[in-house]
């Protein structure tokens, strides 16, 4: 049995090394000096271990604002998306109304529309509404969670309708049913979707780049490219910023890995 598993184990190790190498190298490069980046051949280890790059990032006046903007927009977007997803999925799962299938088809259709085709129209709309350089303008295009609505609906459809009927007969309203029964039953799925929404918004680059002009409103993904250290071939502070942003996500993943694996075992994929 061990011999049969050997090829699969070797392939798994190779794939893991391909995925982990950029992360490990980014961590090591965050300690490089400017001379290390111009050395031929390129080194894998820093010539000296120093926190100089991290102190450089910490002293940058805009970097805390970059991180704060990304956290705020990520939390706002994830919260709004989660509320809309739960309410919409609840309506599509437990209510029977005319046009339900048509609305579901329209929501599914939005998944097949390339987002790049909508950039010009969305930008003109946000500009006319005066939402440039605002948090609402940054998160405006990510508020319709089509994939999450459809996947939560599938999960809610697996809940026996008798639970819903019994709750209504006992005087439980829709709001109380969602808060007291539905959300606790779907806590793992909802938590995974919330984390996915936050990560997606936090890592967004193109749309925040278009709708923000003031440096104080830039998000961290844009701010890293505008730190200016790369112009002097000193990429150390850039890698230090990348590692600084990545570490909180790593901690959250370690704490929530059981919930994420449980959701994946149930057949849900993050989109």
pLDDT of residue 69: 92
pLDDT of residue 265: 62
Q: State percent of the chain over pLDDT 90.
A: 9
Q: Are 115 and 53 in contact (CB under 8 A)?
A: no
pLDDT tens digits for range 107-145: 888 888 887 788 888 899 999 988 888 999 999 888 888
Of 228, 255, 260, the residue nearest 241 (C-alpha): 228
29 in any annotated domain: no
- In eight-state DSSP terms, residue 173 is -
pLDDT of residue 73: 93
The rounded distance, in Å, linking the Cα atoms of 271 and 8 is 27
198 in any annotated domain: yes
Cα atoms in the 13 Å half-sphere on the side-chain side of 80: 14
pLDDT tens digits for range 39-77: 777 778 888 888 888 888 888 888 888 989 999 999 999
181 in any annotated domain: yes
Q: How many domains does the chain have?
A: 1
Looking at the predicted structure, is the pLDDT value of residue 249 above 70?
yes
pLDDT of residue 151: 85
- Between 2 and 152, the higher pLDDT residue: 152
Average pLDDT, the chain: 82
154 in any annotated domain: yes
- 17-28 average pLDDT score: 86
Alpha helix ranges (H) inside 1-99: 2-29, 34-37, 52-58, 63-94
Domain with residue 73: its CATH number is 1.10.3720.10
Looking at the predicted structure, is the pLDDT value of residue 12 above 70?
yes
Note down the domain range covering 84: 61-226
246 in any annotated domain: no
- Between 24 and 9, the higher pLDDT residue: 24
- pTM exceeds cut of 0.95: no
b vs e for 189-203, b when ≥16 Cβ sit within 10 Å of the residue's Cβ?
A: bbbbbbbbbbbbbbe
């Amino acid at each position: 049995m061990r011999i049969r598993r050997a090829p699969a184990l070797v392939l798994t190790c190779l794939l893991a090394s391909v995925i982990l190498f950029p992360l490990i190298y980014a961590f090591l490069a965050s300690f490089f000096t400017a001379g290390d980046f111009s050395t031929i051949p390129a080194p894998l280890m820093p010539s000296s271990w120093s926190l100089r790059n991290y102190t450089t990032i910490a002293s940058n006046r805009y970097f805390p604002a970059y991180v704060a903007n990304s956290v705020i927009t990520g939390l706002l977007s994830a919260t709004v998306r989660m509320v809309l997803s739960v309410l919409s999925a609840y309506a599509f799962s437990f209510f029977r109304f005319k046009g339900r299938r048509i609305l579901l088809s329209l929501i599914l259709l939005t998944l097949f529309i390339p987002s790049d085709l909508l950039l010009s129209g969305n930008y003109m709309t946000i500009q006319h509404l005066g939402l440039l350089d605002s948090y609402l303008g940054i998160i405006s295009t990510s508020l319709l969670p089509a994939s999450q609505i459809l996947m939560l609906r599938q999960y809610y459809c697996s809940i026996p309708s008798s639970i819903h009927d019994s709750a209504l007969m006992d005087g439980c309203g829709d709001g109380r049913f969602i808060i007291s029964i539905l959300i606790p039953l779907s806590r793992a799925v909802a938590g995974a979707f919330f984390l996915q929404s936050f990560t997606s918004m936090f890592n967004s680059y193109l749309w925040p780049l278009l709708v923000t002009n003031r440096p104080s409103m830039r998000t961290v993904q844009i701010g890293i490219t505008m730190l200016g250290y790369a112009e002097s071939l000193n990429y150390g502070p850039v890698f230090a910023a990348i590692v600084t942003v990545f570490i909180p996500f790593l901690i959250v993943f370690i704490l929530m890995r059981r919930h994420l694996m449980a959701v994946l075992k149930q057949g849900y994929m993050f989109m």
